[in-house]
Each structure stands twice: as structure tokens, then as C-alpha cells.
Amino acid sequence: MGREIAQVMGHRGASWLERPSRVYEERPDELVAHMDLAPNHVVADLGAGTGYFTFRISPRVPEGRVYAVDIQPEMLEIIRTRIARRDIRNVTPVLGTATDPRLTPNSIDAVLLVDTYHEFSHPYEIMTAVVKALKPGGRVFLAEYRAEDRTIPIKRLHKMSEAQARMEMEAVGLHWMGTLESLPSQHLMIFEKPNSSPVMPGPELPPESDHTSGL
């Protein structure tokens, strides 16, 4: 769909996800507040990494659950250690794949993706599975560094424009609800699964195209 996929940041970069400066660079608590979660909501943190957002969401859904989904077992081990250390009862680590987050159909109220979607090697396939996992009316919160702003000191492949993100989310049947621009350097784009809407067909690729690269 006209976008080069960035390479995945491995578990050896875990310290980058937990850098102290991230609090003011990204305002994570403000981002989570914008999700407007109810106490009983079921949330998936997709590309959870070390659980940086998972453990910010957990206290907001005391009667619900947070599924921390990642494809790297090493990241999930970090999350399990923190769950045990803090005696947290409403977080479940999930080992997903490049094409499947392994979430129960029609079970999720909200999905959060922070600085991770642009690295997915199979974005259409994974988001099609996300749509199936969402309840009707469930929402996707997509945070990505703004490609439109050249002053943001992030490599171009690790940014996304609003137009590109909307095109890709609409391709799997998600409806754009709006974009919040109050974060210092990220779009926070909000999409919703309609109450009844078939998933749209994926983009056509020429037979010789290798669309599996990117991991």
C-alpha cells in the first residue's frame, strides 16, 4: 500500500522502551487517559514490549483484563516477572505471531498500538485478526510518530502519516473516528469496528511481490 515496513526492534532494545525521558517525550499517562476506559473493559496492548503501557492500563480496568501481546518471548518474560513482583491479577501475557494476535473473537473493547504498527511484517493480516477480536463498537487506538513533521528526530521508516494509517485501517473495515494531536510528537488515531460490517478485501499484489519481508 505504498509503505516500506520498518524492522522490528528486538528485545535487546528493552531499555529504550523504559527510558525515563519517555514520560515527557510521549506523555503515556495522557495517552491512556484519552482511551476513556471503563473499569470492566477488556484491552489488548498489541506489541506490548516490556509492558510500558500494559501496566498503565491495568489499574484503569480493575474489573476487566489486559492482554499483553507480543511476538518476542523475551519481552513476555519481562512482563511475567513484573506481574509476579507486583502481584497483578488482571494482566495476561499472550505470545502472538506475525499474522495473529491470538485473541478470542468478539472479546476486546479496545486495542492499543504504540509506535509498533509500522513494524508489523503482515499489517493487513494482523489487523484483520484484530478486527475479528474486537467487539462491535470496539476501538483501535493507534499512536505513531507524525511523518508530516520533519523536525521529529525519528527515522522516516519509524513514522506514519495520518493519511497512510487511515488508508490501511479502512482496508480492514475500521472506521476513523478522529485524531488527537495533543501529544508532543505522535498522532493518536482512533478507529472503530462498526456494529456490522464485512472485512474489506486486501490490497492486490503482483504475483512476484514478496510482501512477507520486514521482520
For 59-74, the pLDDT digits (tens) are: 999 999 999 999 999 9
- 3 state SS of 64: coil
**Is 196 or 200 the better-scoring residue by pLDDT?**
196
* Lowest model confidence (mean pLDDT) among 36-50, 117-131, 201-215: 201-215
On whether the CB atoms of residues 134 and 106 are closer than 8 A, the answer is yes
Q: Which residue has the cell 498500538?
A: 113
Average pLDDT over residues 102-114: 97
Residues 188/136, Cβ–Cβ less than 8 Å: no
Sketch out the chain's domains with CATH numbers: 49-180 (3.40.50.150)
**C-alpha to C-alpha distance for 157 and 155, rounded to whole angstroms:** 6
> Which DSSP helix (H) or strand (E) runs through 22?
helix 22-26
- pLDDT tens for 177-188 read 999 999 988 899
Q: Dihedral of the CA atoms 43, 30, 27, 133 (nearest 10)?
A: 20
| Nearest by Cα to 74 from 14, 17, 6 | 14
pLDDT at 210: 38
